Structure 1
Amino acid sequence: MLEIEPFIALNIVNLIPSLMEFDSDLMEAAMEIAAARAPTRNICEVDRKRYFELTTEDLLNTVAIMPQDVKIQTLTQQFGLTEIDAKRAISDLESQAESSHLMMLQRFDSGEEGQFLLFKMAPNYEMSLLTAQATGSVLITDSGSRWQELVRAQHTNQGVVNYPWNSALQHVHSSPLDYQLLENVQKSQGPFATLRRLMKTTDCMILTNDRNAEKIKSISDQAKTLMNQIKDTTDHSNNCALTILSPEGGLYDTNVQRLLARSNCPRYEHQVRSIYGIGLPSQP
């Protein structure tokens, strides 16, 4: 989150609160659906490691302002450290306190200062689809676990998923990192601009259900030429794997459709048109 903060400040990245925070009925229904889905959910190893790291970091940030004996007890019980190792870890933690952006340095009296943010991960799958359908957006994720959930939401025709625009999208399987955008918050031109134009053109075709074979072939040829050009002129280690799925009939979930029908949203798409996977793990 801290890495994208400059982009948030410049309105390149926009954060919105969860729709559940404004609709208690929606929250209750979404949580029930997520709870029913939990036994069948499979978390990939990369995500499991990421969750553990985030949980550990959050725990350490939380105990930073607690009394010394509470810190020692927490570290010995939660991480199995000896008392000596726990004291050493606490010393290292305290030395980093002032430079950490996420560590509390003083206590806040309840109801007077600060704020409490309740973050709910469980129904993210349902709320991702719902928000995308309500806003007409595509979904982008770097989570292998979330990707597998979304893949299962693809529309099928007699058990088969059809991809009318696949010949245009299959060549865009990676993208070099735009360091100018990361460092100066300015979009690079050249191959980057061409890639953005091709992706926008393809997305417009999907949005309007345009299946013109000549247009698709033209985009496919341009994408193939561009990717070969990028391959010859960029460092492969700086490329980010990209997977785009735009199935015929889009992606949807019957439970989410019911949530939308019960909501106060007057207009919404009946499916999500595309999902983009960035840097997905090779192993589930």
Structure 2
Amino acid sequence: KPCILWNDINFPDYEKNERLYEVFAHFYSKVCPGHGIVNNRWQIKNGFNGDFLTPEYQIQVNTTQPWETTRGIGFSFGYNRNEGEKETMSSVDIVKMLIDIVSKGGNLLLDVGPLPNGSISAIQERRLRDVGAWMSINSEGIYHSRPFLPDGAIPTGNFRYVRSKDYMALYVHVLDWDHSSFKKGVIDIPMKLKGFVIVEQFITPTRDRNFSGTARHRHTGTARHGTCRAVPCRHLRSLIGTPARHSSARHAGTVFEDFIDLRSPPRC
């Protein structure tokens, strides 16, 4: 049974305010009791704003209400034959957007516009396969994760931080390997960590834009910043590639993952 009731552009309008209460009551109590949610695009007169926000082509910040960014891979929600490579987000930009949204506590609803025969255009198919390849390696740092920074803090710059639901893992995503903040392959964690720290994985760029590397932990116990450095490992095949075959490499790809055994929740 569907547990998300998602409406668009304020339709239907006829007898909306009178009948929607019946629809919601049936959905919440009969269709998906205890788990059903509806989005915010209903515009009911009493001010009911749904269970989650759905900003379009933008990222929501500074809100305590659950939210989900919705946008197309290009500038259209349906198939647009005039959209080519230039009008379509690159695979890397989609991954960066996904990381940014998740690090700020949101979800991403990415629209795919099918052709009249139901197939997906070659351009959009390539994007989906690339993102899928990246997710097959790095999904642990996306699914079921939570923002790592304190409430109200907005991540900026080259790094994005998320943690696992149980506080046992911290994932640090590097958006740009060539950024000045990533000199010598060192990353500072901007929060105090309490407990034994173990760095499991570190990926660094090579000159040909492939990625390689593993990591060793620099400290244990309570520390103001977590820092790690890269050591050589086998090359990856592409920007969005497959994991290196190395005994200490658990994950690989365009994103650095700092896997930390916190033993207790992080403290500011």
Larger Rg: 1
TM-score greater than 0.5 by the shorter chain: no
TM-score, normalising length: structure 2: 0.27
Between 1 and 2, higher relative CO (CA 8 Å, sep ≥ 6) is seen in 1
